[in-house]
A and B are shown apart, each in its own frame.
Chain A
Amino acid sequence: MLEVKGIYKSFGEASVLKGIDATFEPGKTSLIIGQSGSGKTVFLKTLLGLHIPDKGTISYNGQTTESMTIEEKRQLKQDLGMVFQGSALFDSLTVEENVMFPLKMFTNQSKSEMLDRVDFVLKRVNLKDSNHKFPAELSGGMQKRVAIARAIVTNPRYLFCDEPNSGLDPRTSIVIDNLIQEITDEYQITTVINTHDMNSVMEIGEKIIFLKDGLKEWEGTSNDIFKTDNEAVVSFVYSSNLFKKVRKVYLEE
């Protein structure tokens, strides 16, 4: 369980997060949506400890990050997996080395044990025959799969994804969405995803948080989002004619 209370974050004069409260449950895929500049990425990076909040608390399993010792924080980091917007794979390492990297850093497994685990997670993300390729030799969708494999290789309890579908075609986006949801269910991970992709919102949004100007404007499920009359959510989610029609059909039914 991940709980956030009254998070504020500013960069100089610019106030980006203005008091966000949220709870993310294990085994659920939670989506954070909002326009560009609404504070989604800063929020996610604050949850991960890449930004220190000016005010507010972040609790992992009931313990606030402020009250954790250095060792507890180090331990927590190993429970976090992150899929970055641009995949953030290490250019100089092969697919296999990228996925093996957290194992080499944080476990005392033998090389054969690590290779077995790497093979297992690469198969889990449906990536075959790419172990010895470098990231530059892979398509965007394959890079995302490697990033997911690297994020889950140490069996994290929390998975964060920043725009996992950006730059992918609709079909590959659905494959990536389904993969994240399957992994979340299978390992009972607490998954938090930043996205602009309305397909993801409809398909895998077990919980949706809409951010506007650094504040939580709305919270609900993918079913609720069809019924909401919150103007900001409606104008953001149903900005395309296709989704307007989808909503109309849903409400008529």
Chain B
Amino acid sequence: MNYIKSIGAYVIMLKSVFKKPQKRKIFWEAVFREIDDLGVKSIGIVAFISFFIGGVVAIQTALNLEDPIIPKDLIGFATKRSMILEFSSTFVMVILAGKVGSYITSSIGTMRVTEQIDALEVMGINSLNYLVLPKILATVFFYPFLVLLAMFLGILGGWIAGIATDLFKPGDYIAGIQLDFEPYLVAYSLIKSVVFAFLIATIPSYFGYYVKGGSLEVGRASTKAVVWTIVVIIFSNYFLTQMLLS
């Protein structure tokens, strides 16, 4: 019953979020600030993880291909497919749900328990619109670029791993990543990233905005927000994959 209530409250929250901003200039300032906080400041972690996971996928594929009949360009092909289809969108977004989701819940939750949200409401400001809409725009527009970066760096990481370990020839790897390239798979990944970005901005905002109590509750809300965001991302991934690829 509580879950249904929460889903209802989440939908009602979205209704208040999607209103016309009260002051356009302040709104766009907030959007750019959020792009910096939620997007630009995540480039480092996304780049680091993508590069090394790409390397690991390439090495593991190479180590498991003992049969001489299987062409070596499969290593590049498998790395490319893994990076484009799942890692760059789903797993990078799960990582961002942890990093950015906890930040969103704790920052909005702290505003709630210290009455900063009440202060906004007393001034006549639609606090949900002011606080959440810039986050949605920032993530929805910026995260696809992070996904493209993750794809590129993951594939690059696989190539560098080949050079560093000598497990496969860079030429075979390059041939593999050129093999059977389908642009639609990149589009599929980007569509998923837009949906996941929306979830990363809104679910933690919901948990932060409706928190009651003090710092302990804000901490608990952050943990819940991250868990639920990841659960919903994984579920959505399943349904989006069914819809877009089958």
Contacts and interface: CB of A to CB of B under 8 A. Distances in A.
A105 B123 contact: yes
Nearest to B26: A104
B114 A86 contact: yes
A90 B123 CA distance: 13
A91 B116 contact: yes
Nearest to B23: A105
A74 B123 CA distance: 9
Given A77-B123, A78-B124, A105-B123, 13 more contacts: A45-B118, A48-B122, A50-B121, A73-B124, A74-B124, A77-B122, A77-B124, A84-B115, A88-B116, A89-B116, A91-B110, A91-B114, A105-B26
A33 interface: no
Indicate the size class of the contact surface on chain B. Answer: 10 to 19
29 contacts: A45-B118, A48-B122, A49-B121, A50-B118, A50-B121, A73-B124, A74-B124, A77-B122, A77-B124, A78-B123, A78-B124, A80-B122, A84-B115, A84-B118, A84-B119, A85-B115, A86-B114, A88-B116, A88-B118, A89-B116, A90-B116, A91-B110, A91-B114, A104-B23, A104-B26, A105-B22, A105-B23, A105-B123, A105-B125
B115 A102 contact: no
Indicate the size class of the contact surface on chain A. Answer: 20 to 34
A182 B155 CA distance: 68
Contacts of A74: 124
A82 interface: yes
A80 B122 CA distance: 7
A48 B118 CA distance: 10
Nearest to B33: A92
A88 B114 contact: yes
Contacts of B122: 48-50, 77, 80, 82
A105 B124 CA distance: 10
Contacts of A104: 23, 26
Interface in B198-244: none
A85 B114 CA distance: 9
A74 B20 CA distance: 15
Contacts of A91: 110, 114, 116
Nearest to A150: B119
Closest 9 CB pairs of A and B: A77-B124, A88-B115, A88-B119, A82-B122, A84-B115, A88-B116, A74-B124, A48-B122, A102-B123
A50 B124 CA distance: 10
Contacts of A86: 114-115
Contacts of B123: 77-78, 101-102, 105-106
